């Protein structure tokens, strides 16, 4: 891998490097383009650290190459790095803009060199060709060295693969499934369709990981120092330098690196997943955005998804996070309403071929008992309570589906009002459905009230009125905070009656 001065100033670099050193990821070689220049000027304006001492303190091997244009020294350093039992860091003392009049200055960092200076640069380097001209000998050298070397190594790989298949047929089949990005799990057989009542959806995801992981070596993941809370934990013990078959990764409090590492594993066709509190998704957003941009089907599992967190207070209570990710292109955001929907959401994420998926789960137990099949779930929204005769709709996600059903039952009992309840675990899947289906679920001639313990922004695309939270949370017991913000069946029923007309 390659990095520059600016890369090493990012916090995520230190997160990832510290973990790589702890795990002794000896196959990792990092080439540091050390030119002492960044966009605003010399690096000493922003840092004065001893990079050698820094990387060695994180259990990395360190080497330095002072003459970058002598490929012999660089090649020797790389060969030496391959022998290490630690990750290796090779500092290459390069000159930015080498060959130009502004070499070694920040002027060559973010600005084009210009036509005239480019011509002078080609001349000073003895490259007597016009722009966009690549001499034939370059093509020939590429063909005879790089291409030939690749073909030779690929042949060796294929021969070894045949030998491996003959000696380890079962393991070869598992490897082939991973290489073909095929999860090959019989979800209908392994996952019960009935609902688990009075269970937090974070507990459900933990059970799913334990149930499915033995059936696919591709499942691997872990949490950012929150395993006991998120229940997101891989099997076969902890991945470590003395247990490379462990499928639980102790990421530590390194959310940004965790998301980036998950992305990297998914690029190699592993079904990698991460776990953390939803509020800490803020630290992961850049890497999640990259996954969406790159069509990486990573799975990000978040728990403690609302103000029902309670005692941890407003610093730990998500408000705008659902809205933030729903605004992001090319990503699915799932907020399941009970165990049945969690199972379908996790299945959808594991079967995905390109789009990343977020699954937001509860800390508190969920009692509402409804089930839908997988095909219905993939439509993104559907009726879970109420018949054809109704006067309005409560549209809800996550734990608020239970609240909506309880409110509908209260309105029926005390006011003889029939209300439909629609669960919408995924807006992204719902808007992909036909107009006929969307208007069947959410008729345009009915009052629709969206109910969600979070920002109201974005809900008016689907609802006439939104019952949400547009301020930071409060400290207190979870049920007390929910009552403070009006998320009880009595207060929601009153709100409904007040807005009926």
Which residues does the annotation mark as catalytic?
255
**What are the angstrom distances between the C-alpha of 338 and each of 109, 195, 200, 334?**
52, 7, 8, 12
In the structure encoding, which two tokens stand for residue 445, read together? 């001639």
Nearest CA to 4 among 46, 56, 60, 59? 46
In the structure encoding, which two tokens stand for residue 8, read together? 């090493």
Count helices and strands (H / E) in the chain: 22, 18
Cβ distance 230 to 275 under 8 Å?
Answer: yes
In the structure encoding, which two tokens stand for residue 123, read together? 């001349």
- Residue 414 CB neighbour total at 10 angstroms: 11
Query: In sequence order, what are the beta bridge partners of 37?
Result: 42
Strand runs labelled E in 93-202:
199-200
Measured distance CA(316)–CA(226) in Å, rounded: 13
Cβ distance 433 to 382 under 8 Å?
Answer: no
| CA-CA-CA-CA torsion sign (74, 78, 84, 88) | positive
């Amino acid at each position: 891998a390659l990095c520059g001065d600016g890369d090493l100033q990012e916090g995520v670099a230190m997160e990832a490097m510290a973990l790589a050193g702890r795990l002794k990821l000896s196959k990792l070689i990092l080439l540091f383009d050390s030119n002492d220049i960044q966009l605003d000027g010399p690096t000493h304006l922003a840092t004065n650290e001893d990079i050698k001492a820094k990387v060695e303190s994180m259990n990395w091997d360190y080497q330095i190459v002072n003459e970058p244009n002598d490929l012999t020294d660089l090649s020797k350093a790389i060969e030496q790095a391959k022998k290490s039992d630690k990750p290796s860091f090779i500092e290459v003392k390069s000159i930015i803009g080498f060959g130009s009049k502004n070499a070694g200055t920040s002027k060559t960092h973010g600005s084009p060199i210009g036509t005239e200076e480019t011509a002078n640069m080609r001349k000073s380097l003895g490259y007597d060709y016009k722009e966009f001209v690549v001499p034939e000998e370059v093509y020939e050298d590429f063909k005879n060295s790089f291409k030939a070397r690749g073909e030779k190594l690929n042949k060796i790989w294929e021969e070894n693969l045949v030998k491996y298949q003959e000696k380890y047929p079962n393991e070869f089949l598992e490897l082939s499934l991973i290489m073909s990005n095929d999860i090959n799990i019989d979800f209908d057989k392994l996952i019960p369709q009935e609902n688990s009542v009075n269970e937090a959806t974070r507990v459900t995801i933990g059970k799913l990981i334990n149930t499915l992981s033995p059936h696919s070596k591709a499942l691997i993941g872990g949490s950012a120092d929150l395993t006991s809370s998120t229940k997101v934990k891989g099997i076969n013990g902890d991945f470590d330098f003395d247990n490379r078959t462990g499928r639980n990764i102790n990421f530590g409090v390194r959310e940004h690196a965790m998301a980036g590492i998950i992305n990297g594993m998914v690029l190699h066709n592993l079904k990698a997943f991460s776990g953390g509190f939803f509020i800490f998704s803020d630290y992961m957003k850049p890497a999640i955005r990259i996954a969406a941009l790159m069509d990486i089907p990573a799975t990000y599992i978040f728990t403690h998804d609302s103000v029902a967190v309670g005692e941890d207070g407003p610093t730990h209570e998500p408000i705008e996070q659902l809205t933030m990710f729903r605004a992001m292109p090319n990503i699915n955001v799932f907020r399941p309403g009970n165990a049945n929907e969690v199972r379908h959401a996790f299945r959808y994420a594991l079967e995905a071929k390109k789009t990343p998926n977020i699954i937001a789960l509860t800390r508190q137990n969920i009692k509402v008992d409804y089930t839908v099949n997988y095909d219905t779930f993939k439509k993104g929204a559907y009726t879970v309570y109420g018949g054809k005769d109704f006067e309005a709709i409560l549209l809800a996600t996550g734990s608020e589906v239970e609240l909506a059903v309880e409110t509908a039952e209260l309105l029926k009992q005390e006011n003889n009002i029939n209300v439909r309840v629609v669960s919408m675990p995924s807006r992204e899947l719902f808007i992909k459905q036909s107009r006929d289906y969307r208007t069947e679920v959410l008729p345009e001639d009915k009052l629709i009230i969206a109910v969600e313990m979070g920002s109201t922004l974005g809900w008016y695309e689907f609802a006439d009125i939104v019952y949400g939270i547009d301020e930071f949370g409060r400290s207190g017991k979870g049920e007390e905070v929910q009552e403070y913000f009006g998320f009880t069946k009595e207060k929601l029923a009153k709100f409904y009656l007040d807005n009926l007309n």
